[in-house]
Amino acid sequence: MVILVDENVPYGREAFGLLGEVRTAHGRKISREMLADVDALVVRSITKVNRELLEGTPVRFVGTCTIGEDHVDKAWLASAGVTFSSAPGCNANSVGEYITAALLHLAEKHGLTLAGMKLGIVGVGNVGKRVWKKAEALGLQCVLNDPPRFDLEGGDPVFRPIEEILDCDFITCHVPIEKTGPYATWHLAGAAFLARMKPTAILINSSRGGVVDNQALKSTLRNGQLRAAVLDVWEGEPRVDTELLELVDIATPHIAGYSFDGKVNGTRQIYEALCASLNRPAEWDPSPLLPAPECPELTVNPSESGALSGAVRAVYEIMSDDARMREMLALAAPEEQSAWFDRLRKEYPRRREFFNTRVNFAQPDSAMERLFSGVGFRCG
C-alpha cells in the first residue's frame, strides 16, 4: 500500500508507515501525477481534493488531519467510491487557547476588563464549545449563535438570534464555510453585519477567511466603526490583503489550530480512520514520541496584576506570531508575500497547549486556581 502524506503532518511517516510505503509532498504541490500509484492520500487544509486531482488515480481513501472540510469535494468522493475522513475536534482546544491569548492581549492593549463583558460566539461546535468554556472562566458573558444546532436540537433557547450577537463587545466566528443553503456562512460578517456591530466592539475570525468580507472589514476599520479586529484567516490565502493586515490588531497566518498537540491529534485520528477502512487494528501510539514541553512548570504570584496574561505569554506569545506575519509587509511582490505566508505555516514553532504546564501559586488562592484551571492549565 502506498500512502501520500502532506509533509506538514507530524509523525506522518511513523504513523502511516505501519500501514505501507509513505511518501511526502508539500500540500500545495500535490498533483494527479504524484497519485498515479497511490492508494491513500492524507492532507491538511491547503490541498484542494476534488475530481481534478483524483480522477483516474487508484486513491481509495482520503483523510484530512483538520476540522475543516471545505477544501474537499466530499460529494465527488462519495460518487467515486472514495472513503473520506476528517479529524473533528482535533485542534479545538488549540483554537480556544488562541482566542484566550487574543482576548487577554486586547484587554491589556485597550484597557478593558473582560469580566462582565459580552462575547458573541458564532458557531458552537467542537471549537465554539471550547471557546465558550474558556471565556466563561475569564468572566465573560457568552451569547451563543448556531442556527443549524438551534434547528437540529428543537429550538434550544441557549442559542440566541444574531441580533443579540451584534450587541456583544466581542464577536468570534467558528463556523465552516458554506456558500449556499439555509446556513450559508460566506461573507456572514459582511458590510451590513459590521455596520450593526457596536463601534466599541472587536471582531475575531479564526474559522475561514471567507466568513468575513475582507473588503468590508477594511472599510469599517478605516472609518473607525469598530474598535479592532483579529484575523487568523484571510480571503484568498495564501494571498493576503496587506492594507487590511496593517489595520487589524492581531494578524496571524492561519495558525490558531496549529498547536503541536492539536496537529498530532489530527494525525492519530486519520491514522485510526485509515486502519478502520482497512479492517486493521490501530497500533500507533504517539505518546512516547511527544517532546517535553518548553514550559513544564510556572510559579505564579496570584496577587500580581496580569498574572494570567503573563502565564499565557510564557506558554504562547501570540504577538510573536503577529510580528512574524507583519514581516510580510517588507516584501513587495505578491508572490513573495504568498510564499512567506506558506513558510510561516510550514516552519511554525512548536507550540504546546496549556495543559502541558503545571502552575504553582506562591500563596493559596482558590479563585485564581479556578481561573487558571478554567483556561486549561494544570494547577497544584
Percentage, residues of the chain above pLDDT 90: 97
Strands 250-251 and 21-25: unpaired
- Number of folded domains that form the chain: 3
Residue 9: which domain range?
A: 2-86+259-289
pLDDT in tens, 302-358: 999 999 999 999 999 999 999 999 999 999 999 999 999 999 999 999 999 999 999
Average pLDDT over residues 126-153: 97
Please give the DSSP secondary-structure letter assigned to residue 228: E
User: Is residue 11 left, alpha or beta, with left meaning phi > 0 and alpha meaning psi from -120 to 50?
Assistant: left
Q: What is the pLDDT of residue 68?
A: 85
Do residues 66 and 198 share a domain? Answer: no
CATH at residue 62: 3.40.50.720
| pLDDT over 80 (residue 380) | no
Distance CA 328, CA 335 (A): 11
CA angle 314, 66, 127 (to 5 degrees): 60
Beta strands in 108-267 (DSSP E): 118-122, 141-145, 170-173, 202-205, 228-231, 250-251
Q: Which long-range contacts (CB under 8 A, 24 or more apart) does 209-212 make?
A: 209/233, 209/234, 209/235, 209/236, 209/237, 210/177, 210/179, 210/185, 210/186, 210/235, 211/173, 211/175, 211/177, 211/185, 211/186, 211/187, 212/173, 212/187, 212/188
- Would you put residue 78 in left (φ > 0), alpha (ψ -120 to 50) or beta? alpha
Strand 297-300 and strand 358-361: the pairing is parallel
Check if the beta carbon of residue 66 is closer than 8 Å to that of residue 87.
yes
Residues 163 and 106 in one domain: yes
Residues 66 and 208 in one domain: no
pLDDT of residue 35: 97
Exposed / middle / buried, residue 379 (Cβ in 10 Å: 0-12, 13-18, 19+)? middle
Question: From the CA atom positions of the chain, what is the Rg in Å?
Answer: 21
User: Is there a single domain that holds both residue 105 and residue 213?
Assistant: yes
- Residues 93-112 have a mean pLDDT of 98
CATH number at residue 311: 3.30.1370
Tell me: do 175 and 206 sit in the same domain.
yes
Cis peptide before 88 (omega within 30 of 0): no
> Same structural domain for residues 244 and 274?
no
If asked whether residues 98 and 221 sit together in one domain, one would say yes
Amino acid at 368: M
CA distance linking residue 35 with residue 254, whole number of Å? 27
Which of 239, 324, 270, 318 lies closest to 88, judged by CA? 270
Instruction: Give which of 92, 96, 122, 317 is closest to 203, Cα–Cα.
Output: 122
Q: Which of 174, 237, 268, 352 is catalytic?
A: 237
- Mean of the pLDDT values across residues 149-165? 94
Q: Select which of 44, 187, 254, 351 is catalytic.
A: 254
Q: Are residues 224 and 98 in the same domain?
A: yes
259-284 pLDDT, tens digit per residue, is 999 999 999 999 999 999 999 999 99
Mean predicted lDDT score pLDDT of the chain: 96
Q: What band does 88 get if pLDDT is binned at 50, 70 and 90?
A: very high
Q: Which of 192, 224, 251 is the last residue of a domain?
A: 251
Residue 157 carries which side chain, given as an amino acid letter?
P
- Strand pairing class (118-122; 61-64): unpaired
Distance CA 300, CA 305 (A): 11
Q: What is the three-class DSSP state of 83?
A: strand
Q: Are residues 245 and 98 in the same domain?
A: yes
Helices (H) and strands (E) in the chain, counts: 15, 14
Give the pLDDT band of residue 4 (cuts 50, 70, 90): very high
Domain stop point among 193, 228, 251:
251
Q: Give the residue carrying C-alpha cell 492581531.
A: 250
Q: Is 153 a catalytic residue?
A: no
Residue 208 bears catalytic tag: yes
CA angle 207, 7, 48 (to 5 degrees): 50
**Dihedral of the alpha carbons of 87, 89, 94, 97, in degrees to the nearest 10:** 170
Burial of 133 (0-12, 13-18, 19+ CB in 10 A): middle
State mean pLDDT over 221-231.
98
Selected catalytic residue, list 44, 160, 187, 208: 208
Phi, psi angle pair for 162, to nearest 5°: -60, -30
- Shared domain for 56 and 180, answered yes or no, is no
201 φ/ψ angles, rounded to the nearest 5 degrees? -85, 165
The whole-number pLDDT of residue 355 equals 97
Task: Give yes or no: 237 in active site.
Answer: yes
- 109/158 same-domain check: yes
In this predicted structure, the answer to whether residue 133 has a pLDDT above a threshold of 80 is yes
Do residue 109 and residue 228 come from a single domain? yes
